[in-house]
Amino acid sequence: VSMLFHNRKTQLLLVNSLTFGLEVCLAAGITYVPPLLLEVGVEEKFMTMVLGIGPVLGLVFVPLIGSASDHWHSSYGRRRPFIWMLCLGVLLSLFVIPHASSLASLFALNTRPLEIAFLILGIGLLDFCGQVCFTPLEALLSDLFQEPDNCRQAFSMYAFMISLGGCIVSLLPAIDWGGSFLAPYLGGQETCLFSLLTIIFLGCVLATLFVTEEAATQADVLDGPALKDAPPKPSPPACCSCQLSRSSCLLQARHIMQALRNLCTLVPRLHSLYCRIPKVIRRLAVAELCSWMALMTFMLFYTDFVGEGLYHGVPRAKPGTDARRHYDEGVRMGSLGLFLQCVTSIFFSTIMDRMVKQFGTRAVYLASVVFFPVAAFVMCLSHSVIIVTISAALTGFTFSALQILPYTLASLYHHDKQVFLHKYKSKEEEDAARLDKKSAFSKGHLSSQKLPYQNGHAGSLFSSSSPSSLSPPAAGSALCVSSSCDVSLMMMGGEPDPVAPGRGICLDLAILDSAFLLSQVVPSLFMGSIVQFTQSVTAYMVSAAGFGLVAIYFATKVVFDKSDMAK
C-alpha cells in the first residue's frame, strides 16, 4: 500500500482529485446561488456585486498567500497547510448556504435580513476560498513534478479534472434531487445537492493526506544537499527534545504576534508584490489576462447571446409567452454549447502533451490564442445554431491550453532560474556566493575554483548534468528560497530588502491566478453597459473577439525558451 501511494501517477491522481472537487463545488454552488439570492429578495443589480466579492478579495489575498506559502515551514510541507485552511472555508460555506434560513432563525425573530447576510457570507466564502485554493494546489503540482515534461503532464491532468468537473456540474441541475432516494436523508433540492457536494469535497480533501513527497522534499531542502550522504544524526535526549519543542513553540508564538502587528503594512506589502514582478512573469500574466478576458466574456454571456441573438427570445417576458419560451430554449442550447466546450477541453487535455512534443510550446500556445477570436467572429457572423454551437465547442482548445501552458511556462522559469529569473536570486544564495568568492580570493585560486553558486544556483544541483538522484532536493531548493519560520511570517509585513528577494513559484502562480480573477471582474462591470449602448447582444461576441485579438499581440511577447531571453 505504501508503494502504491508513493507511485508518481497515484500522487498525481490524489492531488488532482482535489482539483475536481473544487471545480464541482465552485461551479455547482455558483449555479444555484442566483436563484437563492432572488428568493430572499436581493435585487438583480446587487446580485452581481455579491458574485464579485470572491474575485475581488482574491485579487488582494492571492499574492499574499502565495508569498507566505513559498516561505512556510511545517511538517506537512509548504502548500498543504494553506490548502487545508482554504478547504475548511469551502466546507463551511457549503453548510452555510443551504442552511442560511435555519441559522438566521437561531439569532433573530425577523430572519430575512440575517438570512441575506448569512447567504452573502456563504457565497463570498465559497467563491473566495475556492478560487484562492487553486494557487497553492498548482504550486503543489509544480513542486512534485518539476521536470518540464512531467510538469506538463501534471497540468494536463489538472486541466482534465477541471473540464471533467465542468461536465459533471452541467448535468447536476438537471437532476430532481428533491425527488431522489437521497431526499429523505439529505433534504430538499438545494439541501440535498449541497450535502452531496460536501461529501464529494470532503473525500477529495482527505485524499491530500496521502500526498507525501512534498513533506519529504521540504525535509531535503532543510537538511541541504550536502547532507544527503551524511550518516544519520543521533537523536537528542528526551529532555533536550522537550526543551527544543518548548522553545520552538515560544518562538512560533512570538512570530505569530509579530505577524499580527505587521498586518497594518498589508497595503505596502501588496503593492510590493504586484510591482516587483519579473519581466518574464509580467509578460506571461498580461497575455493570460487578455486571453482569459476574451474567454470569460464568451463563457459568462454565451447563453444570453444564444437566447436573445439566435432564438430572438426576451428574458424579461412573462413565463408561458412565446418570447420567454424562445429565450429558455436558447439558454438550453447555449448550455449545451458550454457542455461541449468542456468535452472538447477534456479531449485536448489528454493530447496536449503529445501536441507540445510534436509542435512545441510556442506553436501550440499561439495557435490556441489565435483560434479563439476566429471562432468568436464566426459566432458573430453566423445565424446558424449548429455552426455557432460547433464554434463554441471548439473553444475548448483555448480553454485547455490556458489551463496548462502558462503554468508549465512558470514552472520552466523556476526550474531554470539562472536563465529566466537571474535577478531574483535568494539572499542566502548571494551571501553564500559572496563568502565563497572571498574565501577563494584569500587562497589565491579564485580563477581556477568552480564556485558552488553560479548565477544564483548550486552548480552540482541545477546543472543539466546533475544525477537524477539529486533532482528532488534540487527542485525543492529552486522553489523554496527560504524556509525559516521567521521569514515566512515576515513576508506578511515589514520593509522589503534592498536586494530583490528570492521568489518562490507559488507567488508567481498567484500573479497568474490574479489575472484570471481580474478577467472575471472586468467583463461583469462593463459588458452590461456596452450591450445597453449598442442595443445588441452580438456585442458580447464582438468584445470577446476584440480581447482575443489583443491577446494575440501579447502572446507573441511571451518568453517560451532561452532563445527568447537573448531578444
More confident site: 176 or 223:
176
Model pLDDT, residue 496: 36
For residue 222, what pLDDT band results from cuts at 50, 70 and 90? very low
The Cα 15–Cα 153 span in angstroms is 13
- Delimit the CATH 1.20.1250.20 region(s) of the chain: 1-147+158-213+264-276, 277-424+503-566
More confident site: 219 or 191:
191
For residue 367, what pLDDT band results from cuts at 50, 70 and 90? very high
CB 272 within 8 Å of CB 495? no
Q: Does domain 1-147+158-213+264-276 have CATH number 3.30.310.50?
A: no
How far from the centroid of its chain's Cα atoms is residue 238's Cα?
43
DSSP string, 20-85: HHHHHHHHHHHHHHHHHHHHTT--HHHHHHHHTHHHHHHHHHHHHHHHHHHT---TT-SSHHHHHH
Instruction: Give the mean pLDDT of 131-151.
Output: 88
Query: Of 147-151, 285-289, 471-475, which range is least confident?
Result: 471-475
For residue 472, what pLDDT band results from cuts at 50, 70 and 90? very low
261 exposed, middle or buried (CB, 10 Å; 0-12, 13-18, 19+)?
A: exposed
The H or E element spanning position 453 is strand 453-454
Please name the residue ranges forming H helices in 236-360.
238-261, 266-275, 279-305, 322-359
pLDDT digits (tens, 9 = 90+) for 55-103: 888 888 888 888 888 888 888 888 888 999 999 999 999 999 888 888 8
DSSP string, 173-222: GGS-GGGSTTHHHH-SHHHHHHHHHHHHHHHHHHHGGG--HHHHHHHHHH
Instruction: Give the mean pLDDT of 240-250.
Output: 53
For residue 105, what pLDDT band results from cuts at 50, 70 and 90? confident
Mean pLDDT of the chain: 76
CATH architecture of 277-424+503-566: Up-down Bundle (1.20)
For residue 319, what pLDDT band results from cuts at 50, 70 and 90? confident
pLDDT digits (tens, 9 = 90+) for 377-411: 999 998 899 999 999 999 999 999 999 999 999 98
For residue 255, what pLDDT band results from cuts at 50, 70 and 90? low
**Contacts with 149 (C-beta within 8 Å, 6 or more apart), sequence order:** 353
Angle between the 100-107 and 111-144 helix axes, to the nearest 10 degrees?
130
Instruction: Give the mean pLDDT of 226-251.
Output: 48
Instruction: Give the mean pLDDT of 450-471.
Output: 34
Model pLDDT, residue 78: 85
189 exposed, middle or buried (CB, 10 Å; 0-12, 13-18, 19+)?
A: middle
The H or E element spanning position 368 is helix 361-381
Model pLDDT, residue 4: 55
pLDDT digits (tens, 9 = 90+) for 334-366: 888 888 999 999 999 999 999 999 999 999 999
Within 13 Å and on the Cβ side, how many CA atoms surround 362? 9
To the nearest whole percent, how much of the chain has pLDDT over 70? 70
More confident site: 103 or 261:
103
- Residue 458 β-bridge partners: 453
pLDDT digits (tens, 9 = 90+) for 182-212: 777 776 667 788 888 899 999 999 988 888 7
Model pLDDT, residue 32: 75
* Grid coordinates of 77: 510541507
- Three-state secondary-structure class, residue 493: coil
